[in-house]
Structure 1
């Protein structure tokens, strides 16, 4: 099997239970299934644009408007240098943004 390079943001790609990164890959040897789960729990969960649209109950254009109008909205992580590279959001950043909006509402 091949090892696929991950985006330059520090996410990792799996190849036969090995996470790799030498200039572009990270190497973490996993000996058991529990080790794999423990190491995977340390990685940031990435959400696709479509998943974020579903979570926020907004259309794609609605999320784009939100990105343009709200400077506290999390920025995307690109999966490469190309203009057409897929964009992801970090799930913990989306959750923190949502919690800050709820806290601001409750404080008002």
Structure 2
């Protein structure tokens, strides 16, 4: 369900006549990733800790409360690798 996820892909502009371009967020929040993979936060944390092939989170800042993001392309590539491994 990576492609077509409403929280990841959005259109620009909301009024009639605005640009109808689509863009994809380059970095995703933990909430976005959970929604994208259809998992709970606990499962996402487990993937980060136990699966060495899972994309590493990117922390924005040095403080403990700094926002954490994941790279969209890394997640898509990881998912495609998981699908390929399933059929190998």
1:96 maps onto 2:65 in alignment: no
Q: TM-score, normalised by structure 1?
A: 0.57
- In structure 2, the residue matched to 1:64 is 45
Distance in 2 (CA, whole Å) between partners of 1:89 and 1:63 is: 11
Structure 1 stretches of 5 or more lacking a match? 1-40
Structure 1 moving runs of 4+ over 3 Å? none
Highest Rg: 1 or 2? 1
Q: CA deviation at 1:79?
A: 1.1
Distance in 2 (CA, whole Å) between partners of 1:106 and 1:56 is 19
1:76 corresponds to which of 26, 34, 57: 57
* Aligned ranges 1:13-92 → 2 under 5 Å: 45-92=26-73
How far apart are the structure 1 equivalents of 2:48 and 2:29?
A: 15
State the secondary structure of the residue aligned to 1:74. coil
Q: For 2:60 and 2:67, how far apart are their aligned partners in 1?
A: 5
Supply the distance in 2 between the matched residues of 1:86 and 1:59 (Cα, whole angstroms): 18
What is the aligned residue count?
65
Higher strand fraction (1 or 2): 2
CA distance in structure 2 between the partners assigned to 1:52 and 1:88 by the alignment? 9
Calculate the aligned-residue CA RMSD, in Å. 1.4
